[in-house]
Chains A and B, each alone.
Chain A
């Protein structure tokens, strides 16, 4: 096929004109406009848990289940509270009946082991939720990109796109993910993203009568949560997996799993 210069220029002109109409439908955004549109610049949501203040009442678990519509009686939960009982013989007994939803009213561990109160060296409660990792393994392994990290550091699941393979559940070292009993897709704690992105608190933070749970913005130097993380001795769970967890703990014991 031959093509003269005149013909080439003519076709190029036509193509340019034809393309300019649909292209003009797009608008170029300035970086500032982009930032405003996404609205996440300058925010990194983090969680602070003061285990010294937790009494294991389970209000947080109840509130979470209701707020996020996780079937109340299903044995899965976005957040849970663990009870640790360390005995004088240096044995650790752990339980979390129904995720600690109804509190810890039974002195028996898992309803079977009864620990002699005289024999207890220490006992405490540890609330758990998604660590909203900086390097989330669950996002890495999702084969369809249905789980993703928002600009402000929260990992979410697209219920319309999740194929339900369970790879993310397997990849999470903290066991925070599960299959939603109704939607039948992967589900996890979102830090109540629908609330915090509107300036409100998470359901669990709201429900905690003792201030054991707090949420904050790590990029805001004046945020009280950030101040504590910066100035006090905080720990994270399972650092060794390289996930860079962003739920910080005060008073974390070495027995905590």
Chain B
């Protein structure tokens, strides 16, 4: 071999029995991350809309928080796609020449529509705050204050009216945006499911239930992540209050009470969506077994042999059943909830893994298997991008963005006032 050959996928694919020569695990960890991250975006948005549209008062605290979080997650939904493209610089062609028979072609349009809705809604939610900040920072000295004032000044977009009538209009606009946002968020993620569900060549993916399963699990993961981040922030506040004023101080007890209240209420919604997601997945599985089409033999051997641990122990057991029981048992504590939430997030991640990687675990010939070995220590760009560190980069980005966004759009202080 004279030239260095990079056969995409050969690095991490192990073939067993008869697999067609060109078959490799072409869609690897980043394509697991992609529906996972879009799922979190959609889920976070739906959670905020439950308050804005359906007036679920118990979610009031959560609503702003999850709305800004969905903005932080938004650019990250695109990241794994870019990282997995063989020609990332050409990614923009999807916008230039969208080929509408392809499910991926809609991405640009759906994604931008969704981004516009989220940004608009946030603007209406925070407009009053922008105006207040611009006035409050007026005349303050220092570069930080001045640049902050300029920023808020720009963010108001020249709309300074804070009459009760104008504020009422803002609220109405938020409601409308949130209402439009729900189907769009559903579509954004439902079509991620469609990308897989419509691949007729893949026996595991092809199912009309796929988009619905994806939406349900998306909402589950979105709610879980919002709750978890909320708990972490509240715990941090509590810790700060405890350090400053002592354990038994009124403010500490206040924070604790408020936190438990929000969490136990949101947990109910989480469980509802979890039940829906699991029911659909089980239905899909039963149907495949019962109809026993040509592909069932190979699917069965993947599910019940090769991937049994990943599907039934990690995904359904550890990721679904266990946290469900944990949340259901009486005397719910913050610590128990946090553990359950981590498990739920892990369960949804395993679901994505088992769909994306599991769908490529068997050959199109139905006569062989492929094993995926996640590259851990990268030795070139490809093994970084499509390896553990690439995935971790994607997973860490929303939190960094959220931290930055929180400086401009405080999610929790407003609610307290």
Contact of B364 with A179 in the complex, beta carbons under 8 Å: no
| Segment with Cβ contacts to B, from A17-25, A30-38, A93-101, A206-214 | A93-101
Q: A80-B21, A94-B365 are in contact. Are A172 and B99 (CB under 8 A)?
A: no
Contact of A257 with B367 in the complex, beta carbons under 8 Å: yes
Q: Kindly state the separation between the CA atoms of A139 and B105 in the bound complex, as whole angstroms.
A: 12
Q: A170-B201, A173-B364 are in contact. Are A161 and B90 (CB under 8 A)?
A: yes
Closest to A165 in B: B85
Instruction: Kindly identify which residue among B22, B104, B367 contacts A176, using a CB–CB cutoff of 8 Å.
Output: B22
Shortest C-beta distance, A109 to chain B (Å), equals: 9
Closest to A143 in B: B104
| Segment with Cβ contacts to A, from B3-11, B65-73, B152-160, B166-174 | B3-11
Contact of A161 with B93 in the complex, beta carbons under 8 Å: yes
Contact of B5 with A73 in the complex, beta carbons under 8 Å: yes
Residues of A contacting B98 in the complex (Cβ-Cβ under 8 angstroms): 143-144
Q: Does B113 contact A (CB under 8 A)?
A: no
Q: Does A111 contact B (CB under 8 A)?
A: no
Count of A interface residues, CB-CB < 8 Å: 51
Instruction: Kindly identify which residue among A99, A110, A137 contacts B200, using a CB–CB cutoff of 8 Å.
Output: A137
Q: Which of A140, A171, A175 has the most CB of B within 10 A?
A: A175
Q: Kindly state the separation between the CA atoms of A76 and B21 in the bound complex, as whole angstroms.
A: 6
Contact of A163 with B21 in the complex, beta carbons under 8 Å: no
Residues of B contacting A77 in the complex (Cβ-Cβ under 8 angstroms): 21-22
Closest to B105 in A: A143
Residues of A contacting B363 in the complex (Cβ-Cβ under 8 angstroms): 175
Q: Does A185 contact B (CB under 8 A)?
A: yes
Q: Does A177 contact B (CB under 8 A)?
A: yes
Contact of A143 with B99 in the complex, beta carbons under 8 Å: yes
Closest to A181 in B: B5
Q: Which of A94, A163, A166, A174 has the most CB of B within 10 A?
A: A163
Residues of A contacting B26 in the complex (Cβ-Cβ under 8 angstroms): 166, 169-170, 179
| Contacting residues of chain A (90-148) with chain B, CB-CB under 8 angstroms | 92, 94-96, 98-99, 110, 128, 137, 139-146
Instruction: Kindly identify which residue among A74, A99, A143, A170 contacts B7, using a CB–CB cutoff of 8 Å.
Output: A74
Shortest C-beta distance, A25 to chain B (Å), equals: 24
Contact of A76 with B22 in the complex, beta carbons under 8 Å: yes
Closest to A71 in B: B5
Instruction: Kindly identify which residue among A82, A98, A163, A179 contacts B8, using a CB–CB cutoff of 8 Å.
Output: A179
Q: A71-B3, A163-B91, A179-B7 are in contact. Are A173 and B201 (CB under 8 A)?
A: yes
Q: Which of B22, B97, B294 has the most CB of A within 10 A?
A: B22
Q: A140-B102, A161-B97 are in contact. Are A170 and B202 (CB under 8 A)?
A: yes
Q: Does A199 contact B (CB under 8 A)?
A: no
Q: Does B179 contact A (CB under 8 A)?
A: no
Contact of A163 with B86 in the complex, beta carbons under 8 Å: yes
Q: A73-B5, A143-B104, A181-B6 are in contact. Are A166 and B27 (CB under 8 A)?
A: yes
Residues of A contacting B307 in the complex (Cβ-Cβ under 8 angstroms): none
Contact of B97 with A144 in the complex, beta carbons under 8 Å: yes
Residues of A contacting B94 in the complex (Cβ-Cβ under 8 angstroms): 143-144, 163
Q: Which of A143, A144, A185 has the most CB of B within 10 A?
A: A143
Shortest C-beta distance, A181 to chain B (Å), equals: 4
Contact of B22 with A175 in the complex, beta carbons under 8 Å: yes
Closest to B106 in A: A143
Residues of A contacting B10 in the complex (Cβ-Cβ under 8 angstroms): 75
Q: A110-B18, A241-B200, A242-B200 are in contact. Are A166 and B86 (CB under 8 A)?
A: yes
Q: Kindly state the separation between the CA atoms of A144 and B106 in the bound complex, as whole angstroms.
A: 10
Q: Kindly state the separation between the CA atoms of A173 and B86 in the bound complex, as whole angstroms.
A: 21
A-B contact list, 15 entries, CB within 8 Å: A77-B21, A96-B20, A110-B18, A141-B103, A141-B104, A143-B98, A144-B96, A161-B93, A162-B87, A166-B26, A167-B195, A175-B21, A175-B364, A179-B8, A257-B364
